[in-house]
Structure 1
Amino acid sequence: MFSPCGSGRVAVVLATLAAAGLLSGCGGADGPASRPEAIAFAMSATYPSALPVQYRKTEVIDPTGETPGTIVIDTSQRYLYLVQPDGKALRYGVGVGKEGFGWTGEANVQNKQEWPDWVPPPEMLERRPDLPLRMSGGPENPLGARAMYLWKDGKDTLFRIHGTNEPLTIGKAMSSGCIRMINFDVEDLYERVPLGARVVVR
């Protein structure tokens, strides 16, 4: 069952933002990172040395049993799999929702954005009134280099698969429910995944 990053919507405003692909409840610790090393990493094309090897992209025997092209997210192990047509899968390390913000279910990639804008939903702004109402895409943006917007039954779930400017949160449960990836990896996944791709979160 889906449990959005911030439950509920202000109907007209949020529906408009969601349709434009601008709404997201995902951020660092409910907000953008400001550490210089995080910003520097957002512009790099490699893995930080401190990131454990198991969370770096690798090809594995497919453990999911799903059809090729499906994205499967194992929230307990902190892995995202992109199922390949040869019985294998590409495995990426991810960060997942912290306690109370996690979710499971199925959805589809409805929209894709490069260096997306970030619009915190009202629930997040209530928790963090110091956050901006909107942040333009760029290296300081908590959605990172790419975002894939997940919809179910014609409605925005408010969940995303997105990059992060906090690379050392990969492998941890720290987000507001969205699935975060190293920018280097989310750019790779973004190029491989078409609109309409099925996403299974377990």
Structure 2
Amino acid sequence: MIVDKSNHRLAVVSGNVLLRNYKVGLGGDRTPEGSFVISEKVRNPNGRSDGVFGSRGLALSDSRYAIHGTDEPDSIGTDESLGCIRMLQEDLEELYDLILREQPLK
């Protein structure tokens, strides 16, 4: 996976093949840069599917950040998060099923 912070996009790639491309919400300078792995996959991170973090979460290694849903869909495409990567629930559920733990993120 590759996050393009300037265009608010998250791409899922396999080699040189683009598998999926999602619009995301970020936190501007608060969203960390570098290489990470998905260290944990969580269903219902708030204890329910309609919480503020949505129905799924993907923890980024060695950080306090994650890829998660949002209860504020209008924040997608903006820099309103505290650093995490926000996605629409249906996009995140698709990504969650595509991604294996320990998958690299750049």
TM-score where L is the length of structure 1: 0.50
The structure whose Rg is larger is: 1
Partner of 1:91 in structure 2? 21
Q: How many residues align?
A: 106
**1:113-133: CA deviation from partner (whole Å, max 9, x where unpaired):** 11113xxxxxxxxxxxxxxxx
CA–CA distance in 2 between the matches of 1:101 and 1:86? 29
For 1:172 and 1:86, locate their aligned partners in 2 and report how far apart those are by CA, in whole Å.
27
Q: Percent identity?
A: 31
Unaligned runs of 5+ in 1: 1-70, 118-135
Indicate the residue corresponding to 1:175 in structure 2.
Answer: 81
Alignment partner of 1:111 is 2:40: yes
Q: Which runs of 5+ in 2 are unaligned?
A: none
Q: Is 1:160 the counterpart of 2:89 in the alignment?
A: no
- Partner deviation per Cα, 1:129-152 (whole Å, 9 max, x = no partner): xxxxxxx3331x21111000011x
Q: Deviations over 1:78-128 (max 9, x none)?
A: 000000356233100000014x523211110011011113xxxxxxxxxxx
Structure 1 residues 126-141: aligned runs within 5 Å: 136-139=47-50, 141=51
8 Å CA contact 2:43, 2:57 repeated in 1: yes
Matched, 1:82 2:5: no
Q: TM-score, normalised by structure 2?
A: 0.92
In structure 2, give the amino acid aligned to 1:79: R
Name the Cα RMSD after superposition.
1.5
Aligned partner of 1:143 among 46, 53, 70:
53
Instruction: Please say if residues 84 and 90 of structure 1, whose CA atoms lie closer than 8 Å, have aligned partners that are also in contact.
Output: no
Q: Which has the higher strand share?
A: 2
Q: Residues 138 and 144 of structure 1 are in contact (CA less than 8 Å); yes or no, is this contact kept in structure 2? A: yes
Equivalent position amino acid for 1:183 in 2: Q
Cα displacement (A) at 1:164: 1.0
8 Å CA contact 2:11, 2:18 repeated in 1 = no
